[in-house]
Amino acid sequence: MKVITPGIRKQVKANKKGYRFLSIILLLFALHFTLPAVFAAGIGTTGAQFLKIGVGARPVGMGSSFVAVADDVNTAYWNPSGFSQIKGTELTTMYLSWFEGIDYGYVGYAQSCGEGIGFGGALTYLTTGDIPQTNLVGDNTGAYSGEDIAFILSGAKAINEKISLGSNIKIIQEKIESEVANGYAFDIGGLYKINQDTKLGVVVQNIGSKIKFVSESDALPLNWKIGASHKLLNNSLILALDINFPIDNNVTEHIGAEYLIGDAIALRLGYKTDTVSYLGGESGLSGGIGVEFAGWYSIDYAWVPYGDLGQTHRFSLLMRF
């Protein structure tokens, strides 16, 4: 009779976890090729493009693969069902110096109500700075500016030990000189915990009204996200994979990792395919670092190159109470 020792049993269990995660990855790639193309409306056909800029230096440093991680206050952008995982209270702020003098910022709040219930709010804004203004014959007539802003209210609940659901309500305003356009949108997300180490996530972003300037109106940048995450090395390593199905662009893939060194330092690396076809392979890279202080606040940094357009840098401050 064959004897199964504790060591063999542990190895079999580990192999099962590995096979399960591999199966999830294969399923996500199958969906990549089989999701109906009817969702595609064409590149450059939507408005409110600032809603597509990823928030949080931590998620962005991980290649913007955060749908199934969704375990901090940044989850308001990536997957609202993640509010069910919040413990206590979290606050965050992020600043991004974008191209051509464009500034982007984000402020977020998350609160646990116990029993797998969480809620939060966020404000995201973009300012263009001064843009030269000319008349029909090309004479300089001064300058104008643009501003975009979105208010977000979020809530989530754990249905049971495995499934959590959440949603966002967004109030959107865009301004170009004296013209103003308003709109609203919803996000709906879900998390499924296969076990303590492996999660699946799904979210539909920016379901809502068209946004209209004067007589021209544009649809919002509707986007489907699916993803998986897996923890290894006693939770010191997180691997994540996201696939995006945007209505106004090609399907994109995001992979990322976060490795914890002790209790205070996190190293991050990622790759995404959003801009690779027209900005080159380097533009898919991302990386970052996070440092935690006194056990209740952390400073995070993310670096993202964009080929010939230059490099961008995100800085975040996250506090836990």
In order of start, what are the domains of the chain with their CATH numbers?
6-320 (2.40.160.60)
* pLDDT given for residue 1 in this prediction: 44
Rounded to whole angstroms, the Cα distance separating 2 from 4 reads 7
- 81: alpha, beta or left? (left if phi > 0; alpha if psi -120 to 50): alpha
Q: Under a CB-based contact definition with an 8 Å cutoff, are residues 91 and 296 in contact?
A: no
Intervals of the chain under pLDDT 50: 1-4, 7-8, 10-12, 14-15, 18-19, 21-22, 26, 29-30, 32-40
* pLDDT given for residue 37 in this prediction: 42
pTM confidence score: 0.83
* pLDDT given for residue 275 in this prediction: 84
Rounded to whole angstroms, the Cα distance separating 39 from 224 reads 9
* pLDDT given for residue 215 in this prediction: 73
* pLDDT given for residue 8 in this prediction: 47
Mean pLDDT of the chain: 85
Question: Which helix H or strand E contains 26, and what residues bound it?
Answer: helix 6-34
* pLDDT given for residue 12 in this prediction: 43
Rounded to whole angstroms, the Cα distance separating 122 from 124 reads 7
Which residues share a beta bridge with 184? 171
Q: DSSP characters for 266-305?
A: EEEEEEE-SSHHHH-GGGGEEEEEEEEETTTEEEEEEEEE
* pLDDT given for residue 135 in this prediction: 72
* pLDDT given for residue 18 in this prediction: 47
* pLDDT given for residue 68 in this prediction: 96
